[in-house]
Amino acid sequence: MAKRRPHRTGSIFQRGGIWWIQFHVNGARQRESSYSSEKTEAERLLKRRLADAAVGKIKEFVPSSTTVGQLVQLVVEDYQLTRKRSLGDLRARAEKNIIPRIGPLPVANFRDRAVRTYIVERRESGASDATIQRELAIIRRGFHLGLRNDPPLVERIPIFPKLDLDNARQGFIEHAQYLKLKLRNALPDHLKAIFVVGYHLGMRLGELRKLRWEQVEFESGQIRLSASQTKGKRARTLPIFGEMKEWLMFQLDKRNEKWPELPWVFNWNLKPIGAHLKGWSKACEAADLPGLHFHDLRRSAVRNLERAGVPRRVAMEITGHRTEAIYRRYDIVNPADLSRAGEKLSEYMKEQVAAAKKAANRARPEKTQ
């Protein structure tokens, strides 16, 4: 007969091959999975939880009728409090997909299997894995906020699997394609200058849309972005080079002639240029670049910076990348790069063979007469 555990030291039990722990906080029973088939893992987890409960780190879980929709609302309120720029996107995803499907579901019923069921149903409805992953992130955030609530609104956080995504775009425009001017000439006048600046600097469209004339310094040849304009919330100073000055002056002359009080560098109908970029897709098709996104110019700029030998730290400061891992995703290797690499390797090997033959000839003893 198994030895009975001492009073108030909790218990462990097995369910479906996985070990669980059970203990009490202020008379309320707490259960938690160790997510392991090893009994020793459950023992260690139970010891940690008992230690946390002894010093008041674990609060009593109060069962309630909380729904998944209410947890999602906590996320919306958190975004409002922290002034997240993606609040609109969050609301759209919640109201269109999450709330109609699982909003009324009690959190007690949204367990690991329910997560998997949600993934399957969303796939069957035609949603991509990238879309599903973003929706799961919202739900998971809601559970975390619910667990932090006083008193807690959830007992535990379900397992949210990470889907295997392969959604990195590969689009870019080669410098030779840029020099042909087909795309620039096909663009409507209000998009020509923003295209040139976007190609040279790889700035995000959101940063370009907010750019004002007082931030463009022609004498110093610099553009100064404030922290509030950038995704990383860090101020940046960018160089004006290449054709940028010519096209920025074109914009300035047009503005001074027609709307001298207009503050925005890139505008449409006296307003900041819209995110839709009316006329972009049609121009790309006319230039034999169908499907090219404006954001692909960012990838093109990274390629140019790398090939120009600009130090990576400086290049990341220009493009606004916070991590090198993300920056490297934008440096796409194309077939032409591989061909040039093959040619260089072939030339290198020929030089090595020639050097080896030369060294062998030097080492060969002279013939005696």
Contact by Cβ (8 Å): 217, 223: yes
Q: Is residue 34 scored above 80 in pLDDT?
A: no
User: What pLDDT, on a 0 to 100 scale, did the predictor assign at position 60?
Assistant: 56
- Distance between CA 135 and CA 305 in Å, rounded? 35
Q: What is the pLDDT of residue 96?
A: 93
Q: Is the dihedral of CA 351, 357, 360, 364 positive or negative?
A: negative
pLDDT (tens digit per residue) in 128-148:
888 999 999 999 999 999 888
- Asked if residue 318 and residue 210 are part of one domain, the reply reads yes
Instruction: Report the greatest alpha carbon distance in the chain.
Output: 108
158 located within any domain: no
How many angstroms from the chain centroid is the CA of residue 360?
56
Count Cα atoms within 13 angstroms, Cβ side, for 148.
10
**pLDDT-derived band at 288, boundaries 50, 70, 90:** very high
- Read off φ and ψ for residue 10, nearest 5 degrees: 70, -170
Q: Is residue 349 part of a domain?
A: no
Q: Model confidence at 109, in pLDDT bands (50, 70, 90)? A: confident
> For the chain, how many structural domains are there in total?
3
Same domain, 301 and 191: yes
For residue 275, count CB atoms less than 10 angstroms from its CB and return exposed for 0-12, middle for 13-18, buried for 19 or more.
exposed
Which pair of structure tokens corresponds to residue 87? 């609040």
CB-CB contact of 319 with 301 (8 Å): yes
Q: Which residue has the higher pLDDT, 218 or 362?
A: 218
Structural domain boundaries enclosing 50: 11-54
In whole angstroms, what is the distance from residue 157 CA to residue 312 CA?
Answer: 40
Q: Which residues are 31's β-sheet partners?
A: 22
Among residues 142, 160, 132, the alpha carbon closest in space to that of 76 is found at 142
Cis peptide, bond prior to residue 6, ω within 30 of zero: no
Q: Is 11 helix (H, G, I), strand (E, B) or coil?
A: strand
Which of 19-33, 53-67, 85-99, 283-297 has the lowest average pLDDT? Answer: 53-67
Give the mean pLDDT of 107-118.
Answer: 87
187 and 273 part of one domain: yes
Q: Taking the model in full, what pTM does it have?
A: 0.58
Residue 333: pLDDT band with limits 50, 70, 90: low
Same domain, 196 and 271: yes
Kindly tell me if the per-residue pLDDT of 162 is higher than 70. yes
Same domain, 272 and 311: yes
Contact 155, 28 (CB under 8 A): no
Q: 197-254: per-residue pLDDT in tens?
A: 999 999 999 999 999 999 999 999 999 999 888 887 889 999 999 999 999 999 999 9
**What's the confidence (pLDDT) of residue 341?**
60
**Does residue 93 register a pLDDT over 70?**
yes
Residue 22 lies in a domain: yes
**Pairwise pLDDT comparison (205 vs 167), residue with the higher score:** 205
Q: Residues 138, 94: contact at Cβ < 8 Å?
A: yes
Residues 321 and 212 in one domain: yes
184 and 300 both lie in a single domain: yes
Candidates 74, 90, 60; CA nearest to 146 is 74
The 10 Å Cβ neighbour count of residue 83 is: 7
| Residues 141, 180 within the same domain | no
pLDDT, position 1: 43
Q: Identify the residue with better confidence: 32 or 296.
A: 296
Does residue 155 fall inside a structural domain? no
Task: Provide the token pair at 241.
Answer: 């080079």
Q: Are residues 25 and 92 in the same domain?
A: no
Q: Which is higher by pLDDT, 325 or 45?
A: 45
